[in-house]
Amino acid sequence: MPTTVTMQMALVKSCNASDCAYYKQGNECHAMAITVGGPQPYCDTFFRSSNKGGAEQTGTVGACKVDNCRHNLNFECSAEGIDVIAQQNNAVCSTFKQR
């Protein structure tokens, strides 16, 4: 049986990827739950669209595949929150800390 833990979903405290479909003014992410992909700590949910979408809530991290991050616990994010920064063609989790 895999080990399971009870934890709160990490909030996306800020994201400045203003061309993402889930971005809302004020550096807010409104995707209900993003996936952060491995091996690089990129937001996999990022996609460019002039049509804005998402939910009426602050985004959270639904899953994270970056297992060499200190905050990663069983492929989930155990940080209280994360910050995401636009970088060329990706949006990067800047809360990433190498194990």
Q: How far is the CB of 66 from ligand SF4 (least distance, A)?
A: 4
Contact 94, 84 (CB under 8 A): yes
Q: What count of residues does the chain have?
A: 99
Q: How far is the CB of 1 from ligand SF4 (least distance, A)?
A: 23
Q: Which residues contact 85 (CB under 8 A, 6 or more apart)?
A: 15, 16, 17, 91, 92, 94
Contact 99, 83 (CB under 8 A): no
72-73 and 60-64 strand pairing: unpaired
Binding site for ligand SF4 (CB under 6 A): 10, 12, 15, 17, 20, 22-23, 29, 31, 34, 36, 41, 43, 45-46, 59, 61, 64, 66, 69, 71-72, 77, 79, 82, 84, 91, 93, 95-96
Q: Which CB, 1 or 17, lies closer to ligand SF4?
A: 17
Q: How far is the CB of 94 from ligand SF4 (least distance, A)?
A: 8
Q: Which CB, 1 or 63, lies closer to ligand SF4?
A: 63
